[in-house]
Amino acid sequence: MVKTASTKKVIAVLAALSMIIAILGANASLTANASTTDVSLYSSEVYFCKYGIVQRVVYVKTDANSYDQKVTIHYNPLEGQAWEDTEAEYFTTLSDGSKLWKASFNSYNPEYAIKYEANGETIWDNNGGMNYTNENLGTAPVTVNRGGFFTLGYNRIYATLQNYAYDKDVVVRYTMDNWNTYTDIPMSYDSTNANGTENWVATLYSDSFNFSGFEYCVRYEVNGQTYWANNFNQNYDTSYRVYP
């Protein structure tokens, strides 16, 4: 076939378009991979669980310097059904200046991902293509896990923490008189999760507890640093449990 000048122009235009598409595709891939620095799962917890349905509370950490931020949780309410979205609300600012967002949703299926919009870009954080589930701690150094009912006798408090080093000190600090006085109880190593995070546990013997003035938090010391899980400066009390 003889190529005319017109045909050559068409071929040149198509080649240029192909190059532009390839460049845009590469940029989209880079944007998706940037989710680890701009947005991350900070922590999550189960608030309600009954008949298989779970109400999940999710906290998302985002970049302090980004503008026009919007965080959406994309979740699958039931396997085989269409995925749904719920928008997170700004919750607080952390000590490093990063922002924390909070969202809650009900589902039978534990899978969800994070959609982050800022600076005119959209970034997806889907846990490296595996989506998030109950097993993901997030980037929080230490979190307190919701337990069962607090009763007279004894109660167990569970915490999950990032394994920053072998040598560490983890304690439960609690008060029975609204922090006029307090007591520290050492926590003990319990188990290691598949993602390398550790579970620690402490038992509080509560025969004489004054639950009206009872609050607690968890202190994690490692590598010369101190981290607190204190319900974002509100502390925990007997209401911090999973509601059936």
Q: Are 38 and 64 in contact (CB under 8 A)?
A: no
Half-sphere exposure of 192 (CA within 13 A, CB side): 6
Q: For residue 28, what pLDDT is reported?
A: 33
What is the domain class of 142-229 according to CATH?
mainly beta
* Res 243: pLDDT: 76
Per-domain boundaries in the chain = 1-33, 35-125, 142-229
The reported pLDDT for the residue numbered 7 is: 43
Q: What is d(CA 173, CA 185) in angstroms, rounded to the nearest whole number?
A: 6
Cβ atoms of 149 and 102 closer than 8 Å: no
pLDDT profile of the chain (244 residues), mean per 10: 42 42 35 60 89 91 93 95 97 94 94 95 93 86 82 82 97 93 96 91 78 90 97 91 78
pLDDT at 29: 32
Distance, in Å, from the CA atom of 128 to the CA atom of 178, rounded to the nearest integer, reads 43
pLDDT at 76 (0 to 100)? 94
| Same fold across 35-125 and 142-229 | yes
CA dihedral over 112, 113, 118, 120, signed as positive or negative: negative
Please tell me the predicted confidence (pLDDT) of residue 3.
Answer: 40
Distance of alpha carbon 160 from alpha carbon 145, whole angstroms:
7
| E-strand stretches of 32-187 | 39-50, 53-62, 70-75, 84-87, 89-93, 99-107, 112-118, 121-125, 142-145, 154-161, 169-175, 183-186
196, two tokens: 């390398």
Q: How high is the pLDDT of residue 48?
A: 86
CA 113 to each of CA 134, 137, 208, 220: distance values in angstroms, whole numbers, following the listed order: 12, 14, 44, 28
The CATH number of domain 35-125, selected from 3.40.50.11750, 2.60.40.2440, 2.40.50.100, 3.30.70.60 = 2.60.40.2440
Confidence at residue 25, expressed as pLDDT on a 0 to 100 scale: 37
